[in-house]
Structures are given as C-alpha cells and as structure tokens.
Amino acid sequence: LLLARLPPLRWLPHYRWRAWLLGDALAGVTVGIVHVPQGMAFALLTSVPPVFGLYTSFFPVLIYTLLGTGRHLSTGTFAVLSLMTGSAVERLVPEPLGGNLSGIEREQLDAQRVGVAAALAFGSGALMVREDPGGIHAGAPGELGQLGMFALQLGVLSTFLSEPVVKALTSGAALHVLVSQLPSLLGLPLPRQIGCFALFKTLAAVLTALPRSSPAELTISALSLALLVPVKELNVRFRDKLPTPIPGEIVMVLLASVLCFTSSLDTRYNVQIVGLLPGGFPQPHLPSTAELPRILADLLPIALVTFAVSASLASIYADKYRYSIDSNQELFAHGVSNLISSLFSCFPNSATLATTSLLVDAGGNTQLAGLFSCIVVLSVLLWLGPFFYYLPKAVLACINISSMRQMFFQMQEIPQLWRISRMDFAVWMVTWVAVVILSVDLGLAIGVVFSMMTVVCRTQRVQCLALGLAEGTELYRPLRESLKVGVVLSPPPPLLKVPGLCILRYPSPLYFGTRGQFRRTLEWHLGLGEGGEVRWHDKEGDLGMTRAGVWLLPPSPILVAEPVRVVVLDCSGITFADAAGAREVVQLASRCRDAGIHLLLAQCNASVLGTLTEAGLLDRVTPEQLFVSVQDAAAHALERL
C-alpha cells in the first residue's frame, strides 16, 4: 500500500542520477522562476493578495512530487481554476461599492476572501464519502471532492470530459481571463463582473470608463506585452536551439520593479503596486467550515476541471514518453494536494499547460524537478520578497494575458476538427459558446451534457447490416460492400446470399435509447412489419430489399425471393444490453417463432448473454440456438434449410 501511495518509492531506486539530475535541476529552476511572477498574477485573478499565489506555487508542487505519477507534470496555479475561484470569491465577498477602504478594512476584506478561496481548495479536495469495512459513510460537506472520488475509484470520470470539451473550456476561459484583465491593464478601478454574461458586462464597463484610463499604467502594460509576447514566440520557435527557455516573465518583473522604484511611479502617477510580501509561511489552520455550505455548487466544477486537465496532460506526456499513470492515484494526489495546501491558505490548484510544456522543453525527466522548483519559490518567500514591493500590478495582468497563448492557439485545431468529425466540432463550438456567453461553470456543464447527447445520437444512427459469405473464404461481410464499385483497384470477392437465410449484424449497444431502432430495422429486414410491398433503404438509395430481406444490386432485376426461414443475429457489436434492450430481443424471438422464422444468436459476450438469460430468452429459444461464431450458426442454418 505504501508503494502504491508514494510513487517515489518505486521510481527513485531506479533514478538515473548522471543522466537525469542536471535536466531535472535546470527544468525545476526554470519552472520555479516562472512560478514566482505567474503565481502572483494568478492570485490577483483569484481576487486574493499576490503572496497567496506564491504559497499555491509551493505547497501543491511539493505534495504532488511525493504523490503524483505524472513524471513530466507541473502543478501550481492555473488560470482557469483561478478564474472560477475568483468568481466564487467575488460573489461571496464582494468589493464595497465605494471602494475606498482603510488599511484595516482592506486587511479584513482580504482575510475573508482568502478564507473563501482556501475553503474552495479544502472542499474540492476533501473526503466526504469514505469507505470502511462497515460500508460507505458521510463525513464533512465535501462530498463532491476528489478524495471522495478516489475512495469510490472514480478516476474513470475523466473520460467523460472529452478532448473537445476540455479544449473548448480552456479556450473560452482564456478569453474571460483576457477581458477580466483589461481594467488592470488600463488602470481602471472597476468592480469585477461575475455570473452569466460577465465578459460582455466587463467589456461594456471598460468601454464606458476608457476616458479615465491611467496613461502611466497603460504605458507599462504596452511595454510589458511588447516584451513578453515576442519572448514567448522566440521560446517556441527556437525551443530546439535554446539550452533553456528565456525567462521573459522574471526579466519583465525585475525591469518594471526597478523602473517603478527609481521613478516613484506609485506616488507620482498612482500606479498600483504589489506592496509588501510577508516573509515566511502562514500559520496552518483549518479553513472555515461555515463557508462550505455556500460553496457546494462550486466544488464539483472545480474538482472536475482540476482532475480533467491534470489527467489529460499526464496522459499526453505518459504516451509520448512511454510510461503509465494511475488515474485513481492522480485523483488521490490532487485531492491531498488541495486538502493539505488549503491549511496554508492556498487556493485551488492543478497541473498547468504552460509550465508543464516549459518543464519538458527545459529537459525535465521526473517529479524531482518539482523539488528544485520549490527551492526557487521558497527563496522568494524567505528572502527575496522585498524586491517585489514596487512591482506594478499591471505587469501581473500582462503576465496573465501572455500565459494564455497556448489556450488561444487551441482554436487553430477547429478546421481540422471539422474535417475529422462534425460531431466533435459541434461539441467544441457548443462548449466554447456556452463558456464565453454564460460562465465557465455553466459552460462546463453544458459541454458535458451535450457531449453525452452526441454519444447517444451516434448509437442511434447505426445501421443493421445484412451479411453475405465472401466467396472462397469463411468470412461474412456486409452485402453493401459488393456495391462499392471503383473504390478499390481490385474488387473484393463476390458475396454469396443463400435464399431463405438472413444474416444480420447490429453494431451498437442495445439499451433503452436504441431498442426502438433495433426493432424497426429487424422488422424491415425480416418483413415482420405491416405491408408486403418492396421497400428500399431509406438513405443509401443504392440497395433494394424485398419483404423477404434479400439485398439486390441496383442493375439486377428485382426478384421475388424465397421468404426468410432462418435468421442469424450476429451480436458481436452489442457490447452491452440493459433490461429494455434484452426484452426487445426476447420479443423478437417470440415474433420470429410465431412467423415460422428460426432465430439463431451468434457471438454474444458473457455479459450480454447473462442479461438476455435473466430477461427470459431461454423461454423462447433453446441453448442449441446459441453459437460462438457466425460461421457455426450459418453452418447449422444451411443444414436446416
């Protein structure tokens, strides 16, 4: 159990010190240098003082190093989570309308906001549903937390957040981040907009207040972006030639701090600065449980986004470098990370796209890089904090915007997604529009629901296939393949159709959503429905079918075929069946028996066969009508004919 819960005990004895240590050290220091300004920037996005971003760049990284299975994953502050957390903080602890607070009042407001942010981290990582020998019991109000998901082994939930949903969510959230930082870029003291249509409300407020922009902060923002954006492009374009990425953020922070100090921009032009960063660490304390009932609605979206982004990033790099990750251990790692870090006033955290990519580009090989990153952040917290006193907050806003580069560039994949899958394109667009127009939380919910609906729609669009024997082989293929003339250079062998025998394959799960379509297609093929006229396939237009279920090529004359006497149902494509679907098969068996059609079932998996048996199938058919392969069933049918 200890080896399972502490992955370093497994990989550290096999660590290649000479080959990997230097790369991990350089990558860790590089990521740590980026964590410092980025952590402070995302703290402002979370609506808490900058120093709490440094705490969130230290404790979660240290904990994930000990518990995580993603060797190349970099955790810490993440823009999307900061945006979601900030919305909850602003909703529960809004800025007073006047905005003019005394020093003591500002400290009290910040303390309340930090308490809400820490409670969100605690709640999203807490264990409410726990397993013990006596069963499953309820504990504290974190029932939607990641540790509860871990206890129930729900790491598989990450599969329900498809790639289009995650990418659309992060791209839409990046636009929210960009717009939310406009007041800081322009030096406008505007209240933060939250809830539905917040993006448009912020744009309207900025445009209205634009004449009151601060020329000094606007100049600082323009110069900062003029440095940060080209440096990021250089890092991407010359990533193979640079020994380590250029730390544009820390360079910009140092230059802006020196400029503000030497020019007294904070007093002469009222430029907003970071101020004093308290040294050391806060006293650990349990977040206020009184906040939990008010934030229950925010816990599930934060927990899902945390795990979905982290799990998808870990999977990408695990596949690239050929190692495996444990999704349930990842749940445990991120749950414990949020839970313990909340005791030190940290806000929700997860793996991050930008720093993970940076860690890999800088030569990181294992989780040991996280320790070197922690050393850099620790040095700032203990000794270097005073150097950031004069850092303009406008620079932090620029760092927030420039860090969204990768998220915005995900939109370049939309044309390719349109060519590959129109359904996935629709999922991407619906999620993105919902996130942009409504909010990140609602957009996530709409995206997941719509994605699930597309899965259901796909199962209902499958077509029951009539099979024929490929001449000279023992293989049965769809009869429609014999119509694809000119598609291949050498046509496949002709397919043989035995009069009186109909072999059908239903390539879809059989459940309440598909049972109606299953019934209609079987009636159509077997002539069990009303009417006896010749009917043609509804969409293709290239196949004809008589009442007896015989497929004909269009050039051939329409022949009156012998009625179906034996039908073989290939169940290899039915991966599962529920009670409604199983009853449909039982009813089909009854109707076939009444119509004088001998029904044979082939290639049912054990689960489906068990469900059919419980539904009463063996009251309608005998065990001799069940076969392990289509070939065996067809051979039996030929003997019967």
269 belongs to a structural domain: yes
Residue 491 has pLDDT above 60, yes or no: no
3-class state of residue 343 by DSSP:
coil
Which of 577, 588, 586, 587 is CA-nearest to residue 618? Answer: 586
Q: Which of 361, 381, 407 finishes a domain?
A: 407
Taking the mean position of all CA atoms in its chain, how far away is CA 613?
A: 38
Provide the H-helix boundaries in 362-392: 369-379
User: Domain of 530: which CATH number?
Assistant: 3.30.750.24
In angstroms, the CA 317 to CA 563 distance is 57
What's the mean per-residue pLDDT of the chain?
82
Confidence of residue 556 (pLDDT cuts 50, 70, 90): very low
Is 378 strand, coil or helix? helix
Q: Which has more confidence, 537 or 270?
A: 270
Q: Is 436 contained in some domain?
A: no
Q: Are residues 238 and 320 in the same domain?
A: yes
How many C-beta atoms surround the C-beta of residue 368 within 10 A?
22
**Mean pLDDT within 403-421:** 88
Please check whether residues 244 and 363 belong to one and the same domain. Answer: yes
* Position 34 in a domain: yes
* Residues with Cβ within 8 Å of residue 159, at least 6 apart in sequence: none
Residue 596's domain spans which residues?
A: 462-640
Asked if residue 235 lies in contact with residue 226, where contact means CB atoms within 8 angstroms, the answer is no
- 477 and 403 in a common domain: no
- Judge if 337 and 245 occupy the same domain: yes
Asked if 480 and 349 sit in the same domain, the reply is: no
Considering the domain architecture, whether residues 473 and 384 belong to the same structural domain is answered as no
**pLDDT tens digits for range 279-320:** 888 899 988 877 788 888 888 888 888 888 888 888 888 888
**Number of separate helices (H) and strands (E) present in the chain:** 27, 14
Apex 179 CA angle, 176 and 183, nearest 5? 135
| 345/471 same-domain check | no
How many residues does this entry show for the chain?
641
pLDDT higher for 561 or 30? 30
Residue with the bigger pLDDT between 378 and 546: it is 378
How many angstroms separate the most distant Cα atoms in the chain? 100
Residue of 251 and 541 predicted with greater confidence: 251
392/467 same-domain check? no
Domain presence at residue 543? yes
CA-CA distance, 571 to 503, in Å (whole number)?
11
Q: Is there a domain that residue 42 lies in?
A: yes
Most confident of 127-131, 381-385, 426-430: 426-430
Domain count, the chain: 2
Asked if residue 305 is part of any domain, the answer here is yes
Q: Is the pLDDT of residue 636 over 70?
A: yes
Q: What are phi and psi of 556, to 5 degrees?
A: -80, 155
Q: Which residue has the higher pLDDT, 100 or 632?
A: 632
Same domain, 151 and 261: yes
pTM (2 d.p.): 0.77
User: How high is the pLDDT of residue 82?
Assistant: 92
pLDDT at 557 over 90: no
Q: Are strands 465-470 and 501-505 parallel, antiparallel or unpaired?
A: antiparallel
| Domain membership flag for residue 429 | no
At 92, which amino acid appears? Answer: L
> Distances from the Cα of 18 to the Cαs of 23, 361, 375, in angstroms?
10, 19, 21
More confident call, 381 vs 532: 381
Residue 493 and residue 397 share a domain: no
pLDDT at 474 (0 to 100):
72
Q: What is the pLDDT of residues 126-165, one digit of tens each?
A: 743 333 333 333 333 333 345 555 545 555 556 667 889 9
Q: Residue 197: inside a domain, yes or no? A: no
In this prediction, residue 354 has a pLDDT band, given cuts at 50, 70 and 90, of: confident
Classify residue 419 by its DSSP letter.
H
Task: Give the amino acid at 54.
Answer: L
Specify whether 338 is located in the same domain as 477. no
A 10 A CB-CB count for 405 gives 16
Beta-strand pair 551-552/501-505: unpaired
Examine the domain organization and report whether 632 and 541 are in the same domain: yes
**Domain edge (last residue) among 379, 407, 435:** 407
